[in-house]
């Protein structure tokens, strides 16, 4: 009989993990508190939208083969070979601390149903020291077992990304951090069933630091690109030409500037890293990078306002068409999307805002239009927030004919400025005014 694996949290991480282990021959049970999501999975329907190659058909196939099912009952953890935790771990910026309510709740329920010899792995991104200081005490207290002996514990931080969830999970190298040598060895053997990339075994604290550092590093890289874009705007230089030429120099890899940083990881992982050394050291660059990236959505709003003022049109009452709500192209993931503050600020300023996204159905309780034409018709300004592939196919003549005032504010370098100007459109891009 196939061994049982339980995945706690069936979201952008948990679902591909569950599918991968079921494809490897395990009997997988995904636990989620949402009855709607549980029912959806048990019908063979993936709750994840957007363009995710192979994920939906493989989920359907595994459910049909009875190797994957979902439940709300933590009693499913009893007798599992492994329990993999993929719950959200946001950062509460007001309290300047991680919000581990979901993680702690899951650990309490897992601990109450933990069997001798089970491997417990946290894939959620956590502040360094969390396995030792939060996860281990709860599991030991609730189960009466000792970590590293009665059960095995560690973290194998996810490296997935919307648009290639399964691909990244299977092909990328992974860092496996165990609480003690036995735990590390058990986890390495487990993940070898689904990971084709290299597996690097370390202690759990090192693995926690690696994960937060790799995302903090990317956040800082994007912040650098965004600051260069602002400098180029002030100087009247095209940041994309600057980037192209900078990257021709050896050992340079300047990132793309843009409308802002979103997703579950990048906006909070540098904060989780900084939190781990509170009272010992005060990181400086991490905070600056966060502040720069957080200003980009509001900078896009400023570009809208200044562009309208150039033609003597007030922003109050202006019709603004926003293209893209997902934080990343070809996905339906709106977690911490830059579109959120942009939409909020424009509405606060009295603009009439219409939003379109080919993958997002609802946002903040409101229906999102799938029809591009109805959003563009009669608009005074078009704001591109997400780089969905479908937006690159929009004809500039169609845009001009549909809009009342043909202004484009391009937050993702979707269109070429020269072409827009030739077609009679007013164009402003980030770092390319």
Residue 381 sits in a domain whose CATH number is 3.40.50.720
Domain final position from 136, 169, 197: 197
Catalytic residues: 211, 265
Cα-based distances in Å from 411 to 18, 272, 303, 385: 35, 28, 10, 5
Domain that holds residue 53: 4-197
Task: Note the pLDDT tens digit of each residue in 240-275.
Answer: 999 999 999 999 999 999 999 999 999 999 999 999
- Give the pLDDT score at 1: 56
Q: Report the SS3 class of residue 424.
A: coil
Same domain? For 392 and 420 the reply is yes
Same domain, 101 and 149: yes
User: Residues in the chain with pLDDT < 50?
Assistant: none
What is the number of structural domains in the chain? 2
Please indicate, yes or no, whether residues 41 and 95 belong to a single structural domain of this protein.
yes
The Cα–Cα gap between 417 and 232 comes to 15
Please indicate, yes or no, whether residues 259 and 145 belong to a single structural domain of this protein.
no
| Cβ-contact 117, 153 below 8 angstroms | no
Cα within 13 Å of Cα(74), Cβ side: 16
Whether 210 and 262 share a structural domain:
yes
Shared-domain flag, residues 169 and 89: yes
Are 412 and 387 contacting, i.e. CB atoms less than 8 angstroms apart?
yes
Strands 174-178 and 426-429: unpaired
pLDDT of residue 108: 98
Q: Which of 166, 197, 228 is the last residue of a domain?
A: 197
Cα within 13 Å of Cα(199), Cβ side? 21
Buried b (16+ CB within 10 A) or exposed e, 319-342: bbbbbbbbbbbbbbbbbbbbbbbb
251 and 169 in a single domain? The answer is no
Question: Does 120 lie in the same domain as 35?
Answer: yes
| Those residues with Cβ within 8 angstroms of residue 347's Cβ, 6 or more apart along the chain or in another chain | 353
* Same structural domain, 166 and 275: no
SS3 264: coil
Q: Which of 141, 169, 197 is the last residue of a domain?
A: 197
Residue 293 and residue 415 in one domain = yes
Q: What is the pLDDT of residue 365?
A: 85
> Nearest-CA neighbor of 127 among 91, 177, 84, 83?
91
CA distance 195 to 20: 9
Give yes or no: residues 264 and 333 share one domain.
yes
- Do 165 and 313 belong to one domain? no
What pLDDT digit, counting tens, does each position of 136-169 carry?
A: 999 999 999 999 999 999 999 999 999 999 999 9
């Amino acid at each position: 009989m196939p061994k049982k694996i339980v995945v706690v949290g069936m979201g952008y991480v948990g679902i591909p993990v569950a599918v991968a282990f079921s494809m490897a021959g395990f009997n997988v049970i995904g636990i989620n508190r949402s009855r709607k999501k549980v029912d959806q999975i048990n019908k063979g329907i993936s709750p994840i939208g957007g363009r995710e190659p192979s994920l939906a058909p493989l989920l359907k196939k595994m459910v049909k083969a009875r190797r994957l099912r979902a439940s709300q009952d933590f009693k499913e953890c009893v007798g599992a070979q492994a329990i993999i935790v993929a719950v959200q771990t946001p950062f509460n910026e007001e309290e300047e601390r991680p919000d581990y309510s979901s993680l702690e709740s899951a650990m309490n329920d897992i601990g109450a149903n933990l069997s001798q010899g089970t491997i417990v792995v946290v894939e959620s991104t956590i502040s360094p020291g969390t396995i030792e200081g939060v996860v281990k005490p709860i599991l030991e207290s609730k189960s009466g077992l000792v970590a590293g002996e009665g059960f095995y514990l560690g973290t194998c931080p996810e490296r997935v990304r919307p648009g290639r969830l399964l691909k990244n999970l299977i092909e990328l190298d992974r860092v496996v951090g165990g609480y003690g040598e036995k735990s590390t060895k058990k986890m390495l053997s487990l993940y070898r069933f689904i990971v084709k990339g290299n597996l690097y075994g370390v202690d759990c604290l090192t693995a926690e630091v690696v994960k937060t550092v790799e995302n903090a590093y990317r956040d800082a890289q994007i912040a650098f690109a965004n600051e260069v874009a602002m400098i180029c705007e002030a100087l009247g230089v095209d940041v994309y030409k600057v980037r192209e030429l900078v990257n021709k120099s050896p050992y340079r890899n300047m990132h793309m500037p843009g409308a802002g940083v979103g997703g579950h990881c990048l906006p909070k992982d540098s904060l989780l890293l900084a939190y781990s050394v509170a009272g010992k050291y005060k990181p400086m660059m991490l905070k600056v990078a966060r502040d720069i990236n957080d200003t980009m959505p509001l900078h896009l709003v400023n570009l809208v306002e200044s562009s309208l003022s150039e033609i003597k049109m007030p922003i109050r009452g202006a019709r603004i068409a926003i293209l893209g709500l997902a934080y990343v192209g070809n996905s339906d993931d709106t977690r911490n999307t830059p579109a959120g503050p942009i939409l909020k600020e424009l509405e606060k300023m009295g603009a009439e805002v219409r939003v379109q996204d080919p993958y997002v159905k609802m946002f903040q309780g409101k229906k999102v239009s799938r029809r591009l034409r109805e959003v563009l018709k009669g608009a005074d300004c078009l704001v591109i927030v997400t780089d969905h592939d479908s937006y690159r196919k929009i004809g500039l003549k169609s845009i001009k004919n549909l809009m009342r005032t043909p202004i484009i504010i391009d937050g993702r370098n979707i269109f070429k400025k020269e072409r827009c100007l030739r077609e009679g459109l007013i164009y402003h891009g980030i770092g390319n005014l």
